[in-house]
Amino acid sequence: MSDATLVAPGGGEIIGDSADRRVAILSDHDALHATHSRFGPHRDGADLHVHRRHADFFYVLDGELTVRLGPGDEQVRVPAGTLARVPPLVVHGFRNASEADVSYLNLHAPGALFADYLRTLRDGGPRPDGYDQEDPPQDGGRPVTEAEVGAVELLEDSERITVELLADGDEAAVVRVRSETGDPPPVHAHERHAEAFYVLEGELVLTVAGEDVRVAAGAWAQVAPGVAHTVANPGPAAFLIVHAPNAGFDRFLRALHVDGLSLQEAIARSGFDERPPA
């Protein structure tokens, strides 16, 4: 499937794999770098730092992650099923402070050479020129209150489908969907942003260039800008959708699920970056 990326459960480019730490790259597209990580009990992660040009996201799959915020190193617990969003210039770090393993997705939007930075940690050598990470600034950075942990905007909750907006910053929108069954929307493309899916439960069917690919629980699928695609869940499923950059996806979802507009009306009102295939 040359027009999209599919990473099977347990797959990805391995950065490290040991008893107390496993890190695999799922995506290194400029718009979105993503990793799947497992840390053992009391394993330290990144020390306090800031990013100037991109946001950092942590979605905890199992266990509990501790995100460290601000120059005062405030310890914030992030349990399973929770997203933490850290915008640019908010001081942060992370660790596993618990007695059990934690597994999580880490998203950097835009990518800002994050995957290349991880490769230098694995292979040795200098940090890549232009990688967007610095020590905490002397002024303390942006207020810790600008970070979001556990934010959920419920857009629809019915017997058929639950749609929750977990993040709606300019850098990326993250949505969690639970659906009994879902017919595919019309085939479409996004010109200015990438779209990714992570399956939490069940299975999705992603259609790209007329080819159907099954995306199992624990798998990551990503479609690059300009690639025509659609997606459906043939049975009960739960999954994350990431649009990076946001490109009006949050406004589109509110118009569709809250205001009850049709698909085309919601696209028109929100200015969302979606069009029929050429």
Domain locations in the chain as residue ranges: 7-149, 153-270
Does the fold of domain 153-270 match that of domain 7-149? Answer: yes
Residue 225 pLDDT greater than 60, yes or no: yes
How do residues 67-101 score in pLDDT, each as one tens digit? 999 999 999 999 999 999 999 999 999 999 999 99
Q: Tell me the average pLDDT across 158-187.
A: 94
Residues with Cβ within 8 Å of 222's Cβ and at least 6 positions away in sequence, in order, are 4, 5, 26, 27, 29, 32, 34, 194, 195, 196, 197
Task: For the full predicted model, state whether its pTM sits above 0.75.
Answer: yes
How far is Cα 108 from Cα 51, in angstroms, rounded to an integer? 10
Q: Tell me the average pLDDT across 52-80.
A: 98
Pairing between β-strand 153-157 and β-strand 148-149 as defined by DSSP bridges? unpaired
pLDDT attached to residue 109: 98
How far is Cα 243 from Cα 199, in angstroms, rounded to an integer? 15
More confident residue, 78 or 185: 78
pLDDT attached to residue 167: 98
Mean pLDDT of the chain: 96
Element (H, E) at 39: strand 32-39
Residues with Cβ within 8 Å of 179's Cβ and at least 6 positions away in sequence, in order, are 160, 161, 162, 233, 236, 237, 238
Nearest Cα residue to 231 out of 10, 6, 57: 6
Residue 185 pLDDT greater than 90, yes or no: no
Give the other-Cβ count within 10 Å of 63's Cβ.
Answer: 20
Residue with the two structure tokens 């040795």: 124
pLDDT attached to residue 203: 97
Look up residue 144 and give its DSSP letter. G
Residue 199 pLDDT greater than 90, yes or no: yes
Give the other-Cβ count within 10 Å of 218's Cβ.
Answer: 17
Architecture of the domain delimited by 153-270: Sandwich (2.60)
Q: Does the structural domain 7-149 have CATH classification 2.60.120.10? A: yes
How do residues 259-273 score in pLDDT, each as one tens digit? 999 999 999 999 999
The amino acid at 14: I
Strand order in the sheet with 148-149: 13-18, 21-29, 32-39, 102-109, 55-62, 83-86, 148-149
Peptide bond into 277 cis (omega under 30): no
Residue with the two structure tokens 């690639």: 227
How far is Cα 198 from Cα 34, in angstroms, rounded to an integer? 11
pLDDT attached to residue 4: 85
Residue 2 pLDDT greater than 70, yes or no: no
Residue 182 pLDDT greater than 90, yes or no: no
Residue 20 pLDDT greater than 60, yes or no: yes
pLDDT attached to residue 171: 97
pLDDT attached to residue 1: 47
Give the other-Cβ count within 10 Å of 120's Cβ.
Answer: 14
